Structure 1
């Protein structure tokens, strides 16, 4: 197979109907699924596993060496699902020995100049905005949106269907189904617009709102809120997703909108 003016290592595994533009570089031990397009001057480094029908735009770098001083040249991977788009000059680092891989799911949009660091896990159907900077080990749930210019601290978790507003400093975990904004990052409501777009009924949205009233509106600490939620609200998949997220948060969840400036942020109990 010939790709005019592109560098494609002889060991790379290239699927059917893959288009590689001039001056792109595909290094050894790379796998690219059928129907994927690689733009001019994109660099796909060793350890990349790119799915079907992806688009990697000019100047993007996939599976770059981790920007981690503990990295000792161990052999690791970057895995990208099907139908994902990586726009101009975005960078995705491969994993370190802690998890061995960085993962971006299917049907995602990684916008221009975004950075997805080593060992991050980005779910499917996510949007990572222009110039979003994600430090190592960040987890982003399915259908989450992180808006442009946001910076996400290492080890932070952003729950499924969450929406993070532009230019946010995300230093605490963002629970699922919520909107996050302000400084410091705070709960500003349910991502009701996104949920309706994805088929959630008004009844289900109200159910999610009721759960968060216990966490953010009643002046309870997290342990008290979770206890009351489990005692007073009927079990459901969404209720349990929220409870488990808050209970297992290691960095603590974002603050209440009613918490006064200068007080400590809400911590997971």
Structure 2
């Protein structure tokens, strides 16, 4: 185990023998870190925090700190980080709270740039990219393959669907459906993330069907209920894209902070 002599690692912490810990880092008693994870210098990892394999945590990150929630009273809550994540400088990920699931989660293969904040009880999927200073308030849910532009701000309890993308400086206060591209303050929709879908192997036909579904919901002038019915009709008539259109419909049905539209 390559632990710098100036690092402070609690003897009760569980670190795989291949973990690297940089100078002046502090790792608490209830921390577990998996194989080949690299912890840079001046990192603080505390609380009941579990970190998987092959992660790279850069200098000055703070993981597993107490929630920034005045209701928190020291309950046993957790932070869980998966495998193969890159977590850059000055990121802050907080523990969960008992008012929610009691855990903040980050999935696998995420690229998290500097100064990103994950507040208590956030649930982040896999293969996401969060640019510098993206900020998530409490209880936010982020799907897989989401890209957040720099300085994106997301209001508590909002959800962002799979493959969605926000532009620089977006202020998000309502749910963003899957596949969308949004930007601005206030945030508006600007079509679908077609280039992202193409890079991830979606066929031209599937992208065309998703674009048509977007126009149905966001540009047709139909009421939301009418648009949802039309979306189901389109799913029935499109065998190649039915799964994705139903995914969009399901997300819209469950939008509880209101749908960005």
Kept in 2, the 8 Å contact 1:136–1:155? The answer is: yes
Gaps of 5+ in 1: 256-269
Please report how far the alpha carbon of residue 182 of structure 1 lies from its aligned counterpart in structure 2 after TM superposition: 2.4
Residues 83, 220 of structure 1: CA spacing in aligned structure 2 closer, same or farther, 3 A cutoff?
same
Which position in structure 1 is the counterpart of 2:70? Answer: 69
Kept in 2, the 8 Å contact 1:151–1:170? The answer is: yes
Q: Could you give the per-residue CA deviations for residues 27-52 of structure 1, whole angstroms, max 9, x where no partner exists? A: 01110000000010100002110010
Looking at structure 2, the residues matched to 212 and 69 of structure 1 have their Cα atoms a distance apart, in angstroms, of 40
Looking at structure 1, the residues matched to 148 and 2 of structure 2 have their Cα atoms a distance apart, in angstroms, of 38
Does the residue aligned with 1:187 lie in a helix, a strand or coil?
strand
Q: Give TM-score, length-normalised by structure 1.
A: 0.92
Residues 233, 35 of structure 1: CA spacing in aligned structure 2 closer, same or farther, 3 A cutoff?
closer
Which position in structure 2 is the counterpart of 1:240? Answer: 246
Kept in 1, the 8 Å contact 2:2–2:19? The answer is: no
Which position in structure 2 is the counterpart of 1:265? Answer: none
Looking at structure 1, the residues matched to 103 and 61 of structure 2 have their Cα atoms a distance apart, in angstroms, of 18
Kept in 1, the 8 Å contact 2:47–2:66? The answer is: no
Within a 5 Å distance, the mapping from 1:187-266 to structure 2 comes to: 187-234=189-236, 236-255=242-261
Does the residue aligned with 2:214 lie in a helix, a strand or coil?
helix
Which position in structure 1 is the counterpart of 2:85? Answer: 84
Looking at structure 2, the residues matched to 230 and 37 of structure 1 have their Cα atoms a distance apart, in angstroms, of 47
Which position in structure 1 is the counterpart of 2:95? Answer: 94
Looking at structure 1, the residues matched to 48 and 17 of structure 2 have their Cα atoms a distance apart, in angstroms, of 20
Superposition RMSD in Å: 1.1
Looking at structure 1, the residues matched to 234 and 121 of structure 2 have their Cα atoms a distance apart, in angstroms, of 38
Gaps of 5+ in 2: none
Match for 2:120 among 118, 121, 124? 118
Kept in 2, the 8 Å contact 1:172–1:185? The answer is: no
**Mapped pair 1:52 → 2:58:** no
Looking at structure 1, the residues matched to 66 and 47 of structure 2 have their Cα atoms a distance apart, in angstroms, of 9
Kindly report structure 1 stretches of 4+ aligned residues shifted beyond 2 Å. 231-235
Match for 1:180 among 169, 179, 182? 182
Please report how far the alpha carbon of residue 228 of structure 1 lies from its aligned counterpart in structure 2 after TM superposition: 1.8
Which position in structure 1 is the counterpart of 2:26? Answer: 25
Q: Could you give the per-residue CA deviations for residues 209-267 of structure 1, whole angstroms, max 9, x where no partner exists? A: 11111101111121110012223442611011000000110011112xxxxxxxxxxxx
Looking at structure 2, the residues matched to 29 and 233 of structure 1 have their Cα atoms a distance apart, in angstroms, of 48
Kept in 1, the 8 Å contact 2:169–2:184? The answer is: no
Does the residue aligned with 1:5 lie in a helix, a strand or coil?
coil
Please report how far the alpha carbon of residue 2 of structure 1 lies from its aligned counterpart in structure 2 after TM superposition: 7.0
Looking at structure 2, the residues matched to 254 and 157 of structure 1 have their Cα atoms a distance apart, in angstroms, of 10
Kept in 2, the 8 Å contact 1:9–1:27? The answer is: yes
Kept in 1, the 8 Å contact 2:90–2:115? The answer is: yes
Q: Give TM-score, length-normalised by structure 2.
A: 0.95
